[in-house]
């Protein structure tokens, strides 16, 4: 019975993938998937990446329709950068708690307290917050972005852990908002030390959204894309991974002969995991839910995102 159930499940998956391929062709659609998505989503994606790579792809694609398999702020960024495209998100409930930790009113109040500061916003923010921002960044380019800003004083929103990390690489004064990623912030020193004891030959690679005391333990610290690249190019064969577990798909694809242990079983973002193949099919069939951003907000936020994309 178990074998039959497994066979039926695989057959359903094949049928869904075939339907997705058909609908993509009919709609002239492209599927963008974040590295934290379920394996089945990453398997059908035309492009996998972190927030920065996906923003670049959304801005440059020739497709008429973008199916954004990520969380809501990512779909907003795609719509802002590609206003003439239809941007779909398979499940509009896919939010980001960290993005919700900063709002326009609070940011405006902080700007009044520091009138000479420029605002650098992590891309993990709403379109409304981006519209109040001088420039956006991702974990992949945050240090370069801060150094590119013509100000000695920076307001950083919303991730305090990433803010603490990047502040160590600049002489500028960084005023840090008190937000955090619920998933990365769960990882503790104890978790890492226990894994290091269990796998003494493994290197610890960690995302800077983790707590500062955890980041200090890293053999390598970097964005999701940087971690994947490092593990692929490294001579080491075994790694303890301190970022969301969906990254394992690309790590295993790029480095099939290497071994990866996630630093704790809790490194799972429930919001990233709400998307599935059935929802991708449904959104392509119905062309819903669509991402909408008011024009005035989009125009102001676009300037912030485009400045980020121009930083080399």
Q: Is 224 labeled as ligand-binding?
A: yes
Rounded to the nearest 10 degrees, how much is the dihedral formed by the CA atoms of 56, 60, 64, 66? -10
Q: Is the peptide bond before 184 cis (omega within 30 degrees of 0)?
A: no
Tell how far CA 98 is from the center of its chain: 12
Nearest-CA neighbor of 214 among 245, 191, 197, 231?
191
The strand order across the sheet containing 47-49 reads 47-49, 29-34, 65-69, 86-88
Nearest-CA neighbor of 262 among 249, 279, 280, 275?
249
Distance CA 269, CA 56 (A): 23
Nearest-CA neighbor of 85 among 50, 60, 56, 106?
60
Q: Is 124 labeled as ligand-binding?
A: yes
Contact 122, 162 (CB under 8 A): yes
Distance CA 303, CA 155 (A): 17
Q: Is 236 labeled as ligand-binding?
A: no
Q: Is 151 labeled as ligand-binding?
A: no
Q: Is 223 labeled as ligand-binding?
A: no
User: In Å, what is the CA distance from 123 to each residue of 47, 167, 198, 251, 308?
Assistant: 19, 17, 35, 23, 10
What ranges make up the beta strands (E) of 212-306? Answer: 220-221, 238-242, 259-262
Contact 135, 151 (CB under 8 A): no
Q: Is 123 labeled as ligand-binding?
A: yes
Q: Is 154 labeled as ligand-binding?
A: no
Q: Is 69 labeled as ligand-binding?
A: no
Q: Is 207 labeled as ligand-binding?
A: yes
Q: Is 51 labeled as ligand-binding?
A: yes
Would you list which residues are annotated within the binding site for [4Fe-4S] cluster? 96, 181, 269
Binding site, annotated residues for iminosuccinate? 34, 51, 122-124, 139, 207-209, 224
Binding-site residues, in ranges, read: 34, 51, 96, 122-124, 139, 181, 207-209, 224, 269
């Amino acid at each position: 019975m178990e074998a039959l159930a497994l066979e039926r499940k695989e057959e359903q998956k094949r049928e869904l993938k075939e339907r997705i391929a058909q609908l993509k062709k009919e709609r002239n659609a492209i599927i963008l998937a974040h590295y934290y998505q379920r394996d089945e989503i990453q398997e059908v994606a035309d492009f996998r990446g972190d927030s920065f790579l996906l923003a670049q792809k959304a801005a440059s694609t020739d497709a008429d329709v973008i199916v954004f398999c990520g969380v809501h702020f990512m779909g907003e960024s795609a719509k802002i950068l590609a206003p003439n495209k239809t941007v779909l998100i398979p499940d509009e409930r896919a939010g980001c708690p960290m993005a919700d930790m900063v709002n326009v009113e609070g940011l405006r109040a902080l700007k009044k307290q520091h009138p000479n500061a420029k605002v650098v916003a992590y891309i993990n923010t709403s379109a409304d917050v981006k519209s109040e921002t001088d420039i956006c960044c991702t974990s992949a380019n945050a240090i370069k972005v801060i150094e590119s800003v013509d100000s000695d004083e920076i307001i950083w929103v919303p991730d305090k852990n990433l803010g603490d990390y990047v502040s160590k690489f600049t002489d500028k004064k960084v005023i840090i908002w008190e937000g955090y990623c619920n998933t990365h912030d769960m990882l503790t020193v104890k978790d890492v030390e226990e894994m290091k004891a269990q796998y003494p030959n493994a290197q610890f690679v960690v995302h800077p959204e983790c707590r500062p005391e955890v980041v200090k333990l890293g053999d390598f610290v970097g964005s999701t894309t940087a971690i994947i690249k490092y593990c692929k190019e490294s001579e080491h064969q075994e790694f303890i991974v301190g970022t969301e577990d969906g990254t394992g798909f690309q790590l295993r694809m790029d480095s099939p002969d290497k071994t990866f242990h996630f630093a704790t079983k809790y490194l799972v973002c429930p919001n990233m995991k709400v998307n599935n193949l059935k929802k991708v099919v449904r959104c392509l069939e119905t062309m819903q839910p669509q991402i909408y951003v008011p024009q005035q907000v989009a125009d102001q936020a676009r300037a912030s995102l485009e400045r980020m994309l121009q930083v080399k």
